[in-house]
Structure 1
């Protein structure tokens, strides 16, 4: 990956923890973390074993309270503006997309879709755990 290409993916967090995972190019980590702090978004680094490209991963708690998705959208907007002129790779609906421009509506749509996917994952997790409780499994 060249320095003029920035990767920033919003992926699902663990079931039931109200988080998304931000996977990002190492070159934007400091500005993303500072922007998360400015927005008051709780976050923490994650270590993941992978043979793929090395991206920094930060869990961001944005799903449990009001305004979390809007705050995350603001973080993404800030990072994109600070890196104007660079080519962005963004993940949406499980597929990577490339963007030279920026659309607030597209980012909000991506985050809304991710929130719906996370809610479905959480519901399935509860269902599976509930089935285990009823069957006597531990």
Structure 2
């Protein structure tokens, strides 16, 4: 009797493993390339709006989720109310609003290309600052 239940468990575990592998392969096939161990690299260090951009993602397909840290004056005295992610070909990739006093935001950044983070004051319609970033990592087809 014990061998039957052990056999059922083994078959069930093997079946789950096969399903997990199949789902993983389908995700990669349907989404294109996968970037593992991504890192967000800033192309400049001196910004009056952006302090840092980083990711804790272990992998990404078309983008990785990034954490953006703004200076303490970005949303207060500089009036930043929106952050935009612009791709290298000038297309809007993502937009989010920020509140007065907010110093952290989470947003997706495209992989395998350079992008521009744009901080905007929507009250007077001005660009307060830009930050060029690139997501690096090992890419598999």
The answer to whether TM tops 0.5 is no
Name the structure with the higher strand share: 2
Higher-Rg member (1/2)? 2
- Give the number of the structure whose residues are more often helix, by fraction: 1
How high is the TM-score relative to the length of structure 2?
A: 0.28
Q: TM-score, normalised by structure 1?
A: 0.28
